[in-house]
Amino acid sequence: MGLMRAALLAGSESAWLRETAARRPAVRRAVARFMPGERVEDALGAAASLRDLGIGALLTRLGENVTDAAEADEVTRHYLDVLDRVRGLAAEISVKPTQLGLDLDRGLCETNLRALVERARATGNFVWIDMEQSRYTDATLDLCLAMRGLGAHVGVCVQAYLRRTPRDVEALIAGGAGIRLVKGAYKEPPALAFSDKRAVDEAYLVLARRLLSDEARRAGVRAVFGTHDPPLLAAIRNHAAGGGLEAKACEFHLLYGIQRAEQERLARAGHRVSVLISYGSYWFPWYMRRLAERPANVLFILKSLFRA
Ligand code: FDA
């Protein structure tokens, strides 16, 4: 793993840095590129603009590793409210299990998640479960599969960098769950994850082909590709077209503010495209992970942190 990436991912877990950085206007300005604002109304406004371009939205309130059951309940109520507010907006939600209480009690997290998925079923919507560090992978997959009866309304993110993911994908295909394939954003040991970009990209493409296979499609899997990587996007689209799939069978999710022109190009080409919009005040660890993906502006940001 590059030194810069390792330092940024370590920094993403530092409470001191989080407190210091969040107060700096320069950092707040830089963050604005990746999120329209801290309020849910900011995210809903951005979702409405995307809808005009034929692009859907995924709403996620930033937060993770909740340590208090009352907070996990509050997060759940917040998302229930969002599911009611987004009707007619082509907007889904994306939630982190540790935001719903996974660190406190798996049962509590499952109850909270089930409430969201049931509301999504009632409103014709969909809940995406984010994938966090590898210590949560088993529990997160189990949570998704526990919602199996509500399968048409729930999906989970899987990370191509994890060596275990091909096995996990088979279990999810058998369960007919929605699957969003990403490269993976956390710091993981080499025994568990590929660190070399080429290895991750190769693993991604193999998994992408599997998700577009006849078997996965017959099982009712909703396959989504969460990447901004132009060669990968092209390879996936070519593979799908070569197999005779129509454009809308190939769905892409990208992050707000990244590869905007590509987002619009994909939508114009007939693909289902959604953009993940983050909001909320707990943006620091998430923003550091975005910088780790592309450290180009890091020196500028770091200097601004330590300026008097
Ligand atoms: P890669 O990092 O190789 O970037 C390819 C190109 O995309 C770059 O060359 C650059 O042009 C552009 N790019 C990528 N990131 C950029 C950035 N931050 N700023 C500017 N340009 C950038 N991860 C995870 O572990 N668990 C999860 O639940 C999720 N959820 C998720 C949802 C969605 C909708 C997306 C798009 C991504 C995630 N991720 C995630 C993050 C994912 O694991 C990964 O870190 C990022 O998507 C970046 O990887 P790429 O596939 O874009 O490729």
Taking the CB of residue 16, how many other CB atoms lie within 10 A of it?
Answer: 8
- Summarize pLDDT for 208-252 with one digit per residue, the tens: 999 999 999 999 999 999 999 999 999 999 999 999 999 988 999
From CA 151, how far away is CA 208, in angstroms rounded?
A: 20
Is 180 part of the annotated catalytic residue set?
A: yes
Sequence-separated (6 or more) residues with CB below 8 Å from residue 150: 114, 117, 118, 120, 121
Task: Say whether pLDDT at 200 is over 50.
Answer: yes
Average pLDDT over residues 250-259: 94
The pLDDT score that the predictor gives to residue 308 is 39
Mean pLDDT for the chain?
Answer: 90
DSSP 124: T
**pLDDT tens track for 45-62:** 999 999 999 999 999 999
Which class does domain 36-282 fall in?
A: alpha beta
CA of 255 to the centre of ligand 1 (A): 7
What residues flank ligand 1, with Cβ below 6 Å?
A: 130-131, 157, 159, 182-186, 226-229, 253-255, 258-259, 276, 290, 293-294
C-beta of residue 132 within 8 angstroms of C-beta of residue 140 = yes
